[in-house]
Amino acid sequence: MLKVSPVILCGGSGTRLWPLSRSGFPKQFLVLSGTTSLFQQAVERINAITSHDITLDETLVVTNEEHRFLALDQLRELKTVNATLLLEPIARNTAPALTLAALRATEQGEDPILVVTPADQTITDQAAFTIALQQSVRAAADGAIIILGITPTAPETGYGYIKHQGNVKTFGEYSVAQFAEKPDATTAQQYIDSGNYCWNSGMFVLRASTWLKALNQFRPDIAEATQASWQDRSSDAQFIRPTKVAFADIPSESIDYAVMEKCPGSGITINMVPLAAGWNDLGAWDAVWQVGAHDANGNLMKGDAFQADTTNSLIYASSRLVTAVGVDNLVIVETADAVMVANRSQSQQVKQIVNALEAQGREEHTLHRKVFRPWGWYDSIDEAERFKVKRIQVKPGASLSLQKHHHRAEHWIVVKGTAEVTCGEKVILLTENQSTYIPLGEVHRLKNPGVVPLEIIEVQSGSYLGENDIIRFEDTYGRLV
C-alpha cells in the first residue's frame, strides 16, 4: 500500500486578482469557480485519489502566520479532512515550504509520497486529474520525481514549459529533458508545434526523502537553514511553527529553481505525467473569464450585475449594482471600497496598481473593508475625522482579546445576540438594543456567550483610529499585536 501525504502550498498573495484578492485575503481563499474556495478545492481534489493501492496520511497545509485562521476555518468546513498547518513566519518561497512538509512527513521515521500542489488552481475534469495523480504516485514510489505537465491548448507566454523525451514508461510518464522559462509568442508557438512540450503546472509527486536528498545535493544552504528552524519548532492545536529567527535566515527560492531545473542530466530521475483536465492557474482576471460560464454574448457575470450591448467581458459585483453598456473585452470588478476596470487582454498589469497603492501606504492593497478575524469579522461602514463606525460579528463562544486603546473610546450597541462585556473590573451582559461605553484607556473585552452570532455596531471616537492602536493583555488565539 502506498501512503500519500497531500501538501497544499498556500502562501501566495494573488495580486493580479485585485481588488477581490488582497494580501490579507488572497485568491486561494476566494470562491471564483464552483461553490467552494480554490484552497478547499485543492484539498478535496487530492483527498479523492485513494484507491486499492493508495491510502492517505494527514494533509499538510503550508501557509503563513497571517492566514492561519482563514485556512483553519475553511478546513473545518471539509469535515472528513485530517489536516496540520505548518506556519511560515516569513515568506521564503516554495522550496523551504516543501522542505517543512517533508520534515513533518518523516518525523515518525516514515517516508510517504508527497503530492504537492499550489492552493490557487482550478481543474474541471476531476476524473482525469485523479487518474493522472494516481499514475504519478505509482511512478514516484521507487524514488523518481514526477511533475505533472499540462497538455497545452495554446501557445501561452505566461507559463513555464517542460520539454519531455523518450517513450512512454510504465505509468504513462515521460523523461524530462529540460525546463524552459516563459517564452515569447514565437518561441511558444515553436514549442506547441514540436509536440514535445507541456506547461509547467507546479504540481509535483515524490517521496519526502527524495526531496530532502535532492535539496541537500543542489541547495544544502536551504536544507540546513530550514532544518535549523524546524528543530526548535513549537506547536499548538493544529498549528506547527518553525522558529522565526532561524526561518529568516533561509534563502528564498522556488521549488523549480532550487531543485527541479537542475535534475535533468544529474543522475536524479525526473519524469513527467501529462495532464489534460481543464487546468487553469487563474493568474489574472482574463483566466477567470476563460473558465467561467458565459452568456450568449460571451460575458461572465457575477453578483448584482447587468449589461446591455456588452460582449466578451467580465463584470463582478460584490456589494452593489454594477452595469455596463456598449463595451467589449473589459474586466470590471467592484468591491465595497474599490472599483477596477481593465482591458481583458491587459489584466496581468493589475499588479502595477497594487504596487502603486502599496508605495503610497494605502490599506486597499492589503485589506478589504470587511476584515475576517479568528473570532468573526468587522466591516468599517463609515469614517471621517475623529470617528469610525464598524459593524462587528462575533462567532458563538468566541471572544476578542482583552485589550485597551491609547487614542480612542468606543460605544457598542447590540443589534443581535447576547454580548458579555468586560470593562475594567465590571462584567455585564447586554442583549438586543442595549449599549455600553468603553472609555479611552480602559481595559476591555467583548465575548459572545450565546449559540447564535453576536452582532454589534461600534462607534469609535478619538484622535487616532488605526488598527495598530491595540494593546493586548490576553488573547485566545495567541496574537501579540
Query: Does 257 share its domain with 347?
Result: no
DSSP 195-206: T-EEEEEEEEEE
Q: What residue type is 336 in one-letter code?
A: A
> Does the residue 235 lie in any domain?
yes
What mean pLDDT do residues 303-318 have? Answer: 97
Query: Does 454 share its domain with 310?
Result: no
pLDDT for res 480: 60
What CATH number should be reported for the domain holding residue 387? 2.60.120.10
Q: How many angstroms separate the Cα of 9 from the Cα of each of 40, 88, 171, 197, 423?
A: 12, 11, 26, 25, 42
What mean pLDDT do residues 400-411 have? Answer: 95
pLDDT for res 412: 97
> Does the residue 360 lie in any domain?
no
Q: Which residue has the cell 517533508?
A: 102
Query: What pLDDT digit, counting tens, does each position of 91-108 carry?
Result: 999 999 999 999 999 998
Query: Does 96 share its domain with 239?
Result: yes
What mean pLDDT do residues 336-362 have? Answer: 93
Query: Does 334 share its domain with 379?
Result: no
Query: Does 156 share its domain with 60?
Result: yes
Higher pLDDT, 32 or 333: 333
Cell numbers at 135, concatenated: 499514475
Question: Average per-residue pLDDT in the chain?
Answer: 93
Q: Which residue has the cell 448584482?
A: 304
Q: How many angstroms separate the Cα of 309 from the Cα of each of 201, 312, 341, 443?
A: 37, 10, 17, 58
What mean pLDDT do residues 253-278 have? Answer: 94
pLDDT for res 236: 84
What mean pLDDT do residues 291-305 have? Answer: 95
Asked if 273 contacts 115 with a C-beta cutoff of 8 angstroms, the reply is: no
Which helix (H) or strand (E) is 104 found in, with range?
Answer: helix 94-105
Query: What pLDDT digit, counting tens, does each position of 208-242 carry?
Result: 999 999 999 999 999 999 999 999 999 887 899 99
Query: Does 85 share its domain with 217?
Result: yes
Per-residue pLDDT at 58 exceeds 60: yes
Instruction: Describe the strand order of the beta sheet including 387-394 as a list of residue ranges.
Output: 370-373, 376-384, 387-394, 454-462, 408-416, 435-438
> Does the residue 362 lie in any domain?
no
Which helix (H) or strand (E) is 322 found in, with range?
Answer: strand 322-325
User: For 153, which DSSP code?
Assistant: S
Burial of 295 (0-12, 13-18, 19+ CB in 10 A): exposed
Q: Could you tell me which of 188, 186, 141 has the C-alpha nearest to residue 163?
A: 188
The residue out of 355, 382, 415 marking a domain boundary is 355
pLDDT for res 468: 84
Per-residue pLDDT at 481 exceeds 60: no
Residue percentage of the chain with pLDDT more than 90 = 85
> Does the residue 389 lie in any domain?
yes
Query: Does 25 share its domain with 170?
Result: yes
CA 420 – CA 430 distance, rounded (Å): 7
pLDDT for res 57: 92
User: For 145, which DSSP code?
Assistant: E
> Does the residue 361 lie in any domain?
no
Burial of 79 (0-12, 13-18, 19+ CB in 10 A): exposed
> What confidence category does residue 79 fall into, taking pLDDT thresholds of 50, 70 and 90?
confident
Per-residue pLDDT at 35 exceeds 90: no
Burial of 135 (0-12, 13-18, 19+ CB in 10 A): buried
The residue out of 209, 240, 275 marking a domain boundary is 275
Which helix (H) or strand (E) is 39 found in, with range?
Answer: helix 38-46
> Does the residue 184 lie in any domain?
yes
Domain extent for 7:
2-275
Query: Does 63 share its domain with 121?
Result: yes
Higher pLDDT, 403 or 33: 403
pLDDT for res 19: 96
The residue out of 326, 355, 384 marking a domain boundary is 355
pLDDT for res 475: 85
Neighbour-count burial for 390-411, b at 16+ CB within 10 Å, e otherwise:
bbbbbbeebbbbbbbbeebebe
CA 110 – CA 138 distance, rounded (Å): 17
What CATH number should be reported for the domain holding residue 197? 3.90.550.10
What mean pLDDT do residues 57-77 have? Answer: 93
Q: How many domains does the chain have?
A: 3
Query: Does 269 share its domain with 300?
Result: no
CA 468 – CA 481 distance, rounded (Å): 7
Query: Does 427 share its domain with 298?
Result: no
> What confidence category does residue 13 fall into, taking pLDDT thresholds of 50, 70 and 90?
confident
pLDDT for res 33: 78
Cis peptide, bond prior to residue 220, ω within 30 of zero = no
> Does the residue 363 lie in any domain?
no
Cell numbers at 232, concatenated: 526548535
CA 54 – CA 138 distance, rounded (Å): 9
What mean pLDDT do residues 176-188 have? Answer: 93
Per-residue pLDDT at 272 exceeds 70: yes
Query: What pLDDT digit, counting tens, does each position of 114-159 carry?
Result: 999 999 999 999 999 999 999 999 999 999 999 999 999 999 888 9
Query: Does 327 share its domain with 401?
Result: no
> Does the residue 252 lie in any domain?
yes
Query: Does 300 share its domain with 350?
Result: yes
